[in-house]
Amino acid sequence: MNNGQWWAVGLSDAIEPGHTLAVVCEGKPIVLFRDEAGQAFALEDRCSHRRVPLSPGPVKPGGLQCPYHGWTFDGNSGRCTDIPNLGREERVPSSYGVTPYPVAEANGFIHVWLGDWAPGEYLPAASYRKTGIEYTGSAVVSLARDHYLDVMLDGPECLLAFTGVQITDFFLGDPRQDGDHLVLDRGAIWKGKGVGPAFVRDYPLVVRTSVPLVGGVITVELLSVDEEPLITICIAATENRRGTTSLCWRGGLHGSTISDSTMRWRFSRVIGRKPFEVFSEIDGNAIAALQIAPSLERIWPSSTASGSYSSFSPEVC
């Protein structure tokens, strides 16, 4: 049973007026659609007649029409509003309908509320802010959501990359709880600059990973050592079927300049090269080889260890 919360399930610009988008959230098939006026709706993606998906159906003025026999469902209430083969004197029974889900859009993400209670006010992507040119995407990855969140803490380099930057294994301090997120800083270096002598190694960059303890979205930031933001990525991750996870993300470059960046980084910015990649294919061998460390705090956040994780993290080589 879900405990009642908003989930970011899709990108606002992925649904044009008059179109649908099939998503799965917490294992539930959901169809998102927009009417011609641009309002977004979410319904259970199963017709109440013969249980076929509604998502391939056309958007009509009265709601979403099933592609099989043409029943139409209202986006707000989920009620069936039209059955094409009813006689003139017949009316659509009021009990016919599908489950509707409350919808809210914020910062380019579509959220749906799953829960029996009245929707809460907090939207997971509320804190995301567009910066500069935005890069967006979506994928379904072959990793269960819980494991995806764990790996985002234990080895984010298995799940994403910043152009011209190497994420190292070196944790900069312990994981810390910030509201309902667990936050961890990790050292990063410019690719092609070398890592320097082992005992005086500096990390000119910081990768800050903020992972939700329950619902919510993942935020990954590339920062200068002075905490100037260079890149911010907001990733929504929801449980799909059969141990897979649906992802959608938005992110972009901040305007910050950084004096010791490499030629590769500066040239990439000049030619407008994509500054980051969120992987849609994941290397299982790399994940299996990861040590389980910071993610333990996600499972038992109250048992924050006082020792430094860096004491058992492998050195950069």
Helix, strand, coil fractions of the chain, as percent rounded to 5: 15, 35, 50
Contact region for ligand FES (CB under 6 A) — 67-75, 154-162, 269-277, 294-302?
Answer: 67-75
For the CA atoms of 275, 206, 7, 240, the dihedral, rounded to the nearest 10 degrees, stands at: 70
Q: Could you say whether residue 93 binds ligand FES (CB under 6 A)? A: no
| Angstrom distance (rounded) from CA 149 to CA 127 | 19
Distance of CA 181 to the CA centre of its chain: 14
Report angle CA 310, 211, 7 to the nearest 5 degrees. 170
Helix/strand/coil for 113: strand
The residue (of 66 and 258) whose beta carbon lies closer to ligand FES is 66
Is residue 183 within a helix (H) or strand (E), and if so which, with residue range?
strand 181-190
Q: How far is the CB of 80 from ligand FES (least distance, A)?
A: 9
Residues 6 or more apart in contact with residue 115 via CB below 8 angstroms: 2, 3, 4, 5
| Angstrom distance (rounded) from CA 253 to CA 256 | 8
The residue (of 4 and 53) whose beta carbon lies closer to ligand FES is 53
Contact flags string 22-61 toward ligand FES, x per CB under 6 A: -------------------------x-xx-x---------
Q: Could you say whether residue 64 binds ligand FES (CB under 6 A)? A: no
Question: How many residues sit in the footprint of ligand FES (CB under 6 A)?
Answer: 9
Helix/strand/coil for 44: strand
Q: Could you say whether residue 208 binds ligand FES (CB under 6 A)? A: no
The residue (of 7 and 71) whose beta carbon lies closer to ligand FES is 71
Q: How far is the CB of 63 from ligand FES (least distance, A)?
A: 13
Q: Could you say whether residue 147 binds ligand FES (CB under 6 A)? A: no
When binding is defined by CB under 6 A, the residue of 69, 129, 241, 273 that contacts ligand FES is: 69
Q: Could you say whether residue 290 binds ligand FES (CB under 6 A)? A: no
When binding is defined by CB under 6 A, the residue of 6, 7, 33, 71 that contacts ligand FES is: 71
**Which residues of this chain interact with ligand FES, rule CB under 6 A?**
47, 49-50, 52, 66, 68-71
